[in-house]
Amino acid sequence: MNFQKTFFSTARSAFYLGISLFLCLSSASWAQVEINVGGAVERGTPIAIVPFKVLDETVLEHQIHTIVSNNLYATGKFEPIPSEKFLTFPSRVEEVRAKDWRLIDARVLVFGEIWTLAEDRYEVQFRMFDVARDQQVGQTRRIPNLRQKDLRAAAHLISDEVYKAFTGGTGAFQSRIAFVERVRVENQRYRYKLMVADWDGYDAREVYASWNSILSPDWSPDGKKLAFVNLSSKGPIVKSLDLATGRAENIANFKGVNSAPSWSPDGSKLAYSSSKHGSPDVFIYDTVTREHQRITTHWGIDTEPSWGPRGESLLFTSNRSRKPQIYRYSLLDQSMSRITFEGDENANASYDETGTNIAMVHDGGSIVLMNAETSEFMWLTRAKFDESPSFSPNGDMVLYMTEQGFEPTMIVASADGRVRTKVEFIQGDVREPAWSYLRR
């Protein structure tokens, strides 16, 4: 696409044509699925993200404003205004006329410039602008010394800055996701690949592969390890993969089923389920002492442990009441309580970062968020086959799998239920998405 050249070399009308062309083309990858699930919810902040001005003839592989726009939209907290509505395209503060933006109801403005410093070396400057106050927000930010391939990372960083400036929270746009991709190799043979990608699915790369099923990946808080389940001829094994070395270590390889690993928030322990004593129970593996501690002893199925936000408790799925429901075990006083009573089945629960909400699979295929205090349910989806919900590290989005026209589809929903976006760069036979913690 020749957008950047059009931008500078031709007349203004051609420029607008270029813009709308660009929008046409980019709307395909915009990947907007559905808005307004819950009904009467307030809008996100209307935001205008101006295409960054490129100060030479360079054609860039990644359009920063598109990435920032998609990012902010997915949170439900922002409502990017399509750029064909823009009356002007400022790149500097002195070019901003607040009136132009009030006319199109923009409350926030983001704009910037890109310089070429040298061969494949760029600098990005960006600014945020509060339309109501008619003033710049914070300083002009410079991100120097970027290669073409770093432009996406720069766009994610800009997204985090905007998110922070206008919500007060920490953005999740520099975090990553893991998932499993199944690739048919021969007629009935499949290769299972554990993949890692940017949060929007870009730059997916294989970190582990097996001829047997891989499931339940879970990030260590420092983002350096992935625990997962790998089936073998003797049964499912819990493994931990060191992403730097590529080495996978067996954590639980006992007789029976070993599955559902979950790192503790401090990264020192790994909870998992194992039937090594006959019936599936929850265990905690201490990576320092290398000891396995049994947590539950019930004859029912106890699986899918997941830690409370400060490591003080574990949620897990148990069928001790006949059907799977969520239970909470306190590591402080060893008390146990059932916490879900709605519907026939609830499974695969996990807390968000603050412990406010619990995401889970409800009645076999809907994704719900339960308020941890009031136990109130909020249906993110009402479906039959949705699964594997995973909170963004800041808790404002939920990643999950659904099926669209028989194709497995990875979706990000805003935790307020307002916006659902297809994870842009993910395709193929994928499953089991898991969101990382924030980069520290």
Partner 1 sequence: MNRKLGLILTILVSLTLAACSKPDESTPEPATKAPSTQPSSGPVYPYSGTSLTADELRALGIYGDPRDEKVVYFEYNSTAIDRRSQVILGAHAYYLKQNAGTRVSLEGHADERGTRDYNLALGERRANVVSDYLNANSAASNNQTISYGEERPIDTAHTESAWQKNRRVEIKY
Binding residues for partner 1 (CB under 8 A): 213, 215-216, 229, 231, 233-236, 256-257, 259-260, 273, 275, 280, 299-301, 303-304, 317, 319, 322-324, 345, 347-348, 361, 364-365, 384-385, 387-388, 432
Nearer to partner 1, 233 or 245 (CB): 233
Pairing of strands 397-404, 248-252: unpaired
Least CB distance to partner 1 at residue 8 (A): 52
**C-beta closer to partner 1: residue 75 or 350:** 350
Name 404's bridge partners: 407
Q: How far is the CB of 189 from partner 1 (least distance, A)?
A: 12
Beta-bridge partners for 306: 315
Query: What is the smallest separation between the CB atom of 177 and partner 1, expressed in angstroms?
Result: 17
Nearest to partner 1 of 123, 345 (CB atom): 345
Strand partners, 259: 273
Closer CB to partner 1, 205 or 322, in the complex: 322
Listed in sequence order, the residues at least 6 apart from 112 whose beta carbon sits closer than 8 Å to its beta carbon are: 50, 52, 53, 64, 91, 124, 125, 126, 127, 158
CB of 354 to partner 1, least distance (A): 24
Q: Please, what is the minimum distance in Å from the beta carbon of residue 239 to partner 1?
A: 14
d(CA 90, CA 9): 17
Total residues found in the chain within this entry: 440
Q: Return the number of the residue (99 or 323) whose C-beta is nearest partner 1.
A: 323
Residue (76 or 389) nearer to partner 1, CB: 389
Query: Measured from the CB of residue 294, what is the shortest distance to partner 1 in angstroms?
Result: 16
Distance (Å, whole) CA 301 – CA 30? 42
Minimum Å gap between C-beta 275 and partner 1 is: 6
Query: Where would I find the H helices in 374-427?
Result: none
Give residue 181's identity as a one-letter amino acid code: E
- Report in angstroms how near the CB of residue 410 gets to partner 1 at its nearest: 15
CB 305 within 8 A of CB 316: yes
Question: Considering only CA atoms, which of 268, 272, 201, 208 is closest in space to residue 236?
Answer: 272
Query: E strand or H helix at 371, and its extent?
Result: strand 366-371
Tell me the torsion sign for CA atoms 265, 270, 274, 276: negative
CB closer to partner 1 out of 323 and 439: 323
Distances (CA, A) of 266 to 30, 145, 242, 308, 337: 36, 34, 17, 11, 24
Which of 37, 113, 51, 53 lies closest to 81, judged by CA?
51
- Positive/negative CA dihedral, 8, 12, 18, 19: positive
Task: Kindly tell me which of 81 and 251 has the beta carbon lying closer to partner 1.
Answer: 251
Give the orientation angle of helix 151-167 with respect to helix 64-74, to 10 degrees. Answer: 40
Closest CB 278 distance from partner 1, rounded Å: 8
Partners of 410 in beta bridges: 401
Residue 298 beta carbon to partner 1: minimum distance, rounded to whole angstroms? 11
Beta-bridge partners for 34: 420
CA 217 to chain centre: 14
Smaller CB distance to partner 1: residue 82 or 235? 235
Minimum CB separation of residue 260 from partner 1 in Å reads: 4
Taking every pair of C-alpha atoms in the chain, what is the biggest distance, in angstroms?
A: 76
Find where tokens 């629960």 sit: 349
Q: Which is nearer to partner 1, 69 or 350 (CB)?
A: 350
Chain centroid to CA 101: 31
Between CA 198 and CA 435 the distance in angstroms is 10
Residue with smaller CB distance to partner 1, 146 or 237: 237
Q: How far is the CB of 229 from partner 1 (least distance, A)?
A: 7
The HSE-up count of residue 38 (CA atoms within 13 Å, CB side) is 19
Q: Pick the closer one to partner 1 by CB: 170 or 213.
A: 213
